[in-house]
Amino acid sequence: MTLADLAHPRQDYSYGFLDAFARRELRRRILKAIAIPGYQVPYASRELPIARGWGTGGLQATLSVVGPQDVVKVIDQGADDSVNAANLRRFIARMTGVETTTDTTKATIIQSRHRIPEERMDKGQLLVLQVPDPEPLRHVQPDSSQAREMHADADYAQMWLSLYEQLVRFGRFMQGASYPVIVNGRYLMSPSPIPRWDTPALHQSAHLTILSAGREKRLYAVPPFTDVRPIEFSDVFFQVEDQAGRVCTLTGAGQKYMDELPQPGGESRFRISDTGYVEKLLKMAQGEPTKIGPTYYDDAGQFWMPGVIKVGA
Amino acid sequence: MAYVAARGGEQAIAAAEELHTTLNGPLSAMLVRSIERHLPYLVDRVMGEGSLYAPDLAALALAQTGGDLYEAVLLLRAYRSTQPRIAYALPVRQSELRTVRRISAAFKDIPGGQILGPSLDYSHRLLRLDVLEGQEAGSGRQEAGSGRQEAESGRQEAGSGRQEAGGKEAGRRTQEEAGWLPSSELEVTDSSPRVLVQSPAASSLPSAACPLPPVSCLLPPPTLPAVADWQRENGLLAQLPERDPCDPSALPDVTREPISFPAPRAHRLQSLARADTGGVLALGYASMRGYGMSHPTVNELRLGYAEVTLRHPVTGIAFSAGRVRVSQAEIVDTGAGAPGDTPLRLGFTATIGWNEVKTIAGAMLDLEMSAPNPHPAHQEEFVLYHTEPVESSGFCIHYKLPHYVTFGSALDNLRKAAKTGETP
């Protein structure tokens, strides 16, 4: 027996890249975030070998909770195959050796930039959303110290005012993605920049969502079965992006969030943004055995949980 | 489909990296050593913004990125996050710095003297085109009529200043001093019989920077009293608190906890030390040019070496773990303060590596941030958030990432709003 036999094999980086102190800090912050739904918990935010603003917040959350038994899916704009998603997935796998997947239903952790998958996430799954700007009050109050005070006082008057101003000027709410929501009846929260189409998926969801902004050093969470309500008036309601009339050129399906592809001549074609879902639809069309989970929206565009998206006015 | 496509994404990444490598040429240990030795100011800048004193790693980062500064800083920072904090060095006082360059714009002469040191300040900024023809620039001192000569005479002055300071303190320099530079740290080269080489920082002192007789070269750079101490004695500046700086391990650490505002002083100074040189300059210049103080004066600017002193974990005995290049600037504001204030207020910035622009601009910003009603661009939160090199550059380049989901979401609103406008 030699000393080399007894020693651990050489390891240039810790499991999951982060050192034990960083992981412990992140886990504690995540627990705090879960305990106070929608509240932005500051954290130290280590630099990672990925550029800041490219998902380092989501990555730190994923790396701090991932374990050998996990199956990880990474998407960017709904796509598993985008270079950024591929790069993050490659990094997570390289630092942990976990299994990766493009199948929403098989993943235990889904790290995402800008989208929630079309198939409904379930109990025990974790959604990690990468967040560029955690502060929903930023455009009414760029100073973060003052914004923190407004959160402490639940003083969101300026948000309601800006909503009203949009209504007066444009006849509708103009907030695109990252539509502000009230979590658990208390904190105003920016749901990363997911499209409005995905916002209702956070409400009373069976899965846990962690939202993490590495550059801004804030993370927050939506625990399972928590109320998440977009801000709206009692007579003018929040609306999701209209997908009516859009047909996916790959699958022929409709009523899912579509990427618009401009064509020469001024026309547009459409493709479902969730590539993992497209993959399954194509498999099924070819007669291969595929298990497609229930989706958030049915083929008629109805959200699965009635009453969440209000109609009328 | 997506599986194949996912692989496509990974292949594209690999191909892009390979092309970058091909265009930049091969990496080698020699290239890294050459960068470390010949581009010390660049290495210093990367170390300062990367907040990691490791000249070889900074040189490697520069080589690996083809000299892309922000990428190099990110590489160093990312490496830094993997390193545990194993010890805290003892505080370094200004008067303990081994100083190679120290100037004050506030007084003609100061205790310890003005030391020009290594500087291009008074050189003629003429390109040495003859170097392209094969002339050796290192021998500039012998060449008549070259811009280099001016620089060299600057060094001569610096040398004599240093010698003078050395002479004054010669009495105190005895055995201890003789052991300051172990023989292993002296390097003998062909061009110069003895060179002040202090590994790993030595490369910043090119051989020609040592016009002193060889024996003087063996002496460490002098330690010099702080100008601010003289001003404190004379009641011009607020006194320092009585007690010693506390336990270094208890200091707030901006790399281990998030900053919040108003920031602890330690966080502010740490952030400035790590800040982007260009960013600090831009905001600092705005202050200098007219959006800030009326009369800032460079009280003292220093380049030197700081001893990294640790305590042995068992015996408690203090020992030196090495020396690092550091720079610092103090700015005093001579504009009228509030009634009851001392006549002068001090702004301070220090960083690892020698970086004069950053420390001067940073010290001005330090003063601005403490002013009662600073310009919005000089408020603490504004300055510290927006001069973070890794965060600002990372966020800037993130706009290259696809945004078609958010863009599509915005288009949905805009199209509908336009339609509403058409049919009222």
Question: CA dihedral in degrees (A111, A116, A118, A122; nearest 10)?
Answer: 70
Note the pLDDT of residue B341. 76
Q: Judged by CB atoms within 8 Å, which residues 231-290 of A form the interface with B? A: 241-242, 250, 257-260, 273, 275-276, 278-279, 282
Instruction: Say yes or no for a CB contact (<8 Å) between A260 and B395.
Output: no
- Identify whether B192 is part of a domain: yes
For B161, the token pair is 């200043």
Residues B133, B186 share a domain = yes
Which of A76, A178, A275 is closest, CB to CB, to B2? A275
Q: How far is CA B302 from CA B65, B98, B102, B142, B327, in A?
A: 30, 10, 4, 29, 6
Which of A173, A175, A276 is closest, CB to CB, to B2? A276
Instruction: Say yes or no for a CB contact (<8 Å) between B404 and A275.
Output: no
- Is residue B171 scored above 80 in pLDDT? no
Judging contacts by C-beta atoms under 8 Å, the chain A residues touching residue B80 are: 47
Note the pLDDT of residue A185. 97
Sequence-ordered list of residues with C-beta below 8 angstroms from that of A186, at least 6 positions apart, any chain:
A37, A38, A154
Q: Residue A211 and residue A214: Cα distance in Å, rounded?
A: 10
Note the pLDDT of residue B169. 40
Sequence-ordered list of residues with C-beta below 8 angstroms from that of B138, at least 6 positions apart, any chain:
B191, B206, B207, B208
User: What mean pLDDT comes out for the span B143-151?
Assistant: 40
Which of B81, B378, B411 has the highest number of chain A CBs within 10 A, making it the mutation to test binding with A? Answer: B81
CB A39 within 8 A of CB A187: yes
- Identify whether B373 is part of a domain: yes
Measured between CA atoms, the residue of chain A closest to residue B262 is A145
Instruction: Say yes or no for a CB contact (<8 Å) between A102 and B2.
Output: yes
Q: Residue A210 and residue A220: Cα distance in Å, rounded?
A: 6
For B340, the token pair is 């009851």
Residues B293, B177 share a domain = no
Which of A102, A114, A250 is closest, CB to CB, to B405? A114
Judging contacts by C-beta atoms under 8 Å, the chain A residues touching residue B257 are: 42, 44
B218, B246, B262 — which closes off a domain? B218
Q: Judged by CB atoms within 8 Å, which residues 123-182 of A form the interface with B? A: 132, 143-145, 148, 170-178
Residues B260, B154 share a domain = no
Instruction: Say yes or no for a CB contact (<8 Å) between B2 and A178.
Output: no
Question: Considering its fold, how many domains does chain B have in total?
Answer: 3
Q: Residue B290 and residue B287: Cα distance in Å, rounded?
A: 6
B29 compared with B10, residue with greater pLDDT: B29
Residues B353, B248 share a domain = yes
What's the CATH class of domain A20-230? alpha beta
Instruction: Say yes or no for a CB contact (<8 Å) between B394 and A54.
Output: yes
CA distance A193 to chain B (A): 7
- Is residue B231 scored above 60 in pLDDT? yes
Instruction: Say yes or no for a CB contact (<8 Å) between A82 and B402.
Output: yes
CA distance A208 to chain B (A): 23
Residues B323, B274 share a domain = yes
- Identify whether B398 is part of a domain: no
Residues B231, B211 share a domain = no
Q: Judged by CB atoms within 8 Å, which residues 65-84 of A form the interface with B? A: 76-84
Chains A, B: CB contacts within 8 A come to 177
Residues B365, B247 share a domain = yes
Q: Residue B404 and residue B410: Cα distance in Å, rounded?
A: 10
- Identify whether B106 is part of a domain: no
- Identify whether B150 is part of a domain: yes
Instruction: Say yes or no for a CB contact (<8 Å) between B405 and A273.
Output: yes
Average pLDDT, chain B: 80
Note the pLDDT of residue A5. 85
Residues B156, B69 share a domain = no
Instruction: Say yes or no for a CB contact (<8 Å) between A84 and B405.
Output: no
3-state SS track over A216-256? CCEEEEECCCCCEEECCCCCCCCCCCCCCCCEECCCCCECC
Residues B235, B330 share a domain = yes
**Order of strands, sheet of A99-100, starting from the edge strand that comes earlier in the sequence:** A41-42, A218-222, A208-213, A126-130, A109-113, A71-76, A99-100
- B5 phi and psi angles, rounded to 5 deg: -65, -40
Give the residue numbers spanning the domain of B137. Answer: 116-218
- Identify whether B395 is part of a domain: no
Q: Residue B298 and residue A175: Cα distance in Å, rounded?
A: 49
A205 compared with B203, residue with greater pLDDT: A205
User: What ipTM does this complex have?
Assistant: 0.85
Residues B344, B244 share a domain = yes
Residues B240, B341 share a domain = yes
pLDDT range class, residue B177, cuts 50, 70, 90: very low
- Identify whether B54 is part of a domain: yes
pLDDT range class, residue B419, cuts 50, 70, 90: confident
Residues B75, B152 share a domain = no
Note the pLDDT of residue B187. 38
Q: Judged by CB atoms within 8 Å, which residues 332-391 of B form the interface with A? A: 379, 381, 385, 390-391
- Is residue B329 scored above 70 in pLDDT? yes
Q: Judged by CB atoms within 8 Å, which residues 77-106 of B form the interface with A? A: 77-78, 80-82, 84
Distance of CA B87 to the CA centre of its chain: 22
Instruction: Say yes or no for a CB contact (<8 Å) between B420 and A170.
Output: yes
Note the pLDDT of residue B421. 67
Instruction: Say yes or no for a CB contact (<8 Å) between B77 and A47.
Output: yes
Neighbour count for residue A261 (Cβ, 10 Å) = 12
A269 strand-pairing partners: A261
Which of A18, A48, A81 is closest, CB to CB, to B5? A81
| CA angle (A34 as vertex; A28, A39 as ends), nearest 5 | 100
For B56, the token pair is 């070889």
Burial of residue B113 (CB within 10 Å: 0-12, 13-18, 19+) is middle
Task: Going residue by residue through chain A, which has 313 residues, state the pLDDT in tens, using 9 for 90 and above.
Answer: 888 888 877 777 889 999 888 999 999 999 999 999 999 999 999 999 999 989 999 999 999 999 999 999 999 999 998 888 999 999 999 999 999 999 999 999 999 999 999 999 999 999 999 999 999 999 999 999 999 999 999 999 999 999 999 999 998 999 999 999 999 999 999 999 999 999 999 999 999 999 999 999 999 999 999 999 999 999 999 999 999 999 999 999 999 999 999 999 999 999 999 999 999 999 999 999 999 999 999 999 999 999 999 987 5
CA distance A174 to chain B (A): 6
Q: Could you tell me the residue ranges of all domains in chain A?
A: 20-230
- Identify whether B136 is part of a domain: yes
pLDDT (tens digit per residue) in B346-375: 999 999 999 999 999 999 999 999 988 889
Note the pLDDT of residue B155. 40
Which of A52, A135, A272, A288 has the highest number of chain B CBs within 10 A, making it the mutation to test binding with B? Answer: A52
For B10, the token pair is 């990974």
